[in-house]
């Protein structure tokens, strides 16, 4: 059985690949893309596909606060990607310690814009509350949707090259699990 996190990674990879293929002007069969949570506008690069542009995005989850976590976050800060997407299961700490973890992560990633996506450990307060993480690591730029749960970002904000769609399938935020199956509202 595929875990929700593996499903999320597969969906995110497919969406990023599809967006990059589209932005670079390469023709390929049209992938199936989930319906966004809000009305959208198609983003077309303002430069020709032959103009070289680079976008660097890092994605990681299951952080905790270990020596390995410190190495990963410090490396993200050194590389300084255009965006760092934190894919949930952030601190593995206790509820009430979210601000401390946010400070730890922010110090190590430096000026890197960090975007959050809830994992199952933050959705129910088991290891913190996603709302508290959002307070101390707010969205660094405009997003569409519900930040940390289901939203999209256009990167870079000026002359976007890619739209990244972030969802939280199979996670219960107190109102039942969110489903992205066909024929559902998501």
Chain position carrying tokens 């709302």:
131
Chain position carrying tokens 């990607």:
81
Cα(160)–Cα(65) distance, integer angstroms: 33
Which pLDDT does position 167 carry in this prediction?
92
Q: Using 50 as the pLDDT threshold, list the residues of the chain that sit under it.
A: 1-2, 12-14, 16-44
Tally the C-alpha atoms within 13 A of residue 88's C-alpha that lie toward its C-beta. Answer: 24
Q: Do 141 and 153 meet the contact criterion of CB atoms below 8 Å apart?
A: yes
The CATH architecture that domain 4-14+56-166 belongs to is: 4-Layer Sandwich (3.60)
Which pLDDT does position 79 carry in this prediction?
95
Cα(4)–Cα(174) distance, integer angstroms: 17
Cα(153)–Cα(49) distance, integer angstroms: 21
Residues 6+ away with beta carbon under 8 Å from 131: none
Which pLDDT does position 35 carry in this prediction?
36
Chain position carrying tokens 């509202």:
185
């Amino acid at each position: 059985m595929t875990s929700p996190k593996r499903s999320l990674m597969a969906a995110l990879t497919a969406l990023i690949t599809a967006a990059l293929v589209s932005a670079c002007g390469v023709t390929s069969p049209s992938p199936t893309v989930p319906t966004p949570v809000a009305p959208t506008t198609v983003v077309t690069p303002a430069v020709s596909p032959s103009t070289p542009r680079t976008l660097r995005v890092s994605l990681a989850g299951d952080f905790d606060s270990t020596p390995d976590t410190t190495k990963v976050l410090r490396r993200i800060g050194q590389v300084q990607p255009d965006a760092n997407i934190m894919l949930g299961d952030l601190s593995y700490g206790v509820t009430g310690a979210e601000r401390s973890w946010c400070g730890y992560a922010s110090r190590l990633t430096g000026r890197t814009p960090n975007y959050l996506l809830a994992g199952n450990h933050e959705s129910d307060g088991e290891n913190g509350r996603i709302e508290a993480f959002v307070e101390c690591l707010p969205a660094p730029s405009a997003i569409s949707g519900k930040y940390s749960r289901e939203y999209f970002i256009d990167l870079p904000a000026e002359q976007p090259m890619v739209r990244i769609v972030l969802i939280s399938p199979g996670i219960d935020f107190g109102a039942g699990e969110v489903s992205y199956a066909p024929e559902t509202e998501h």
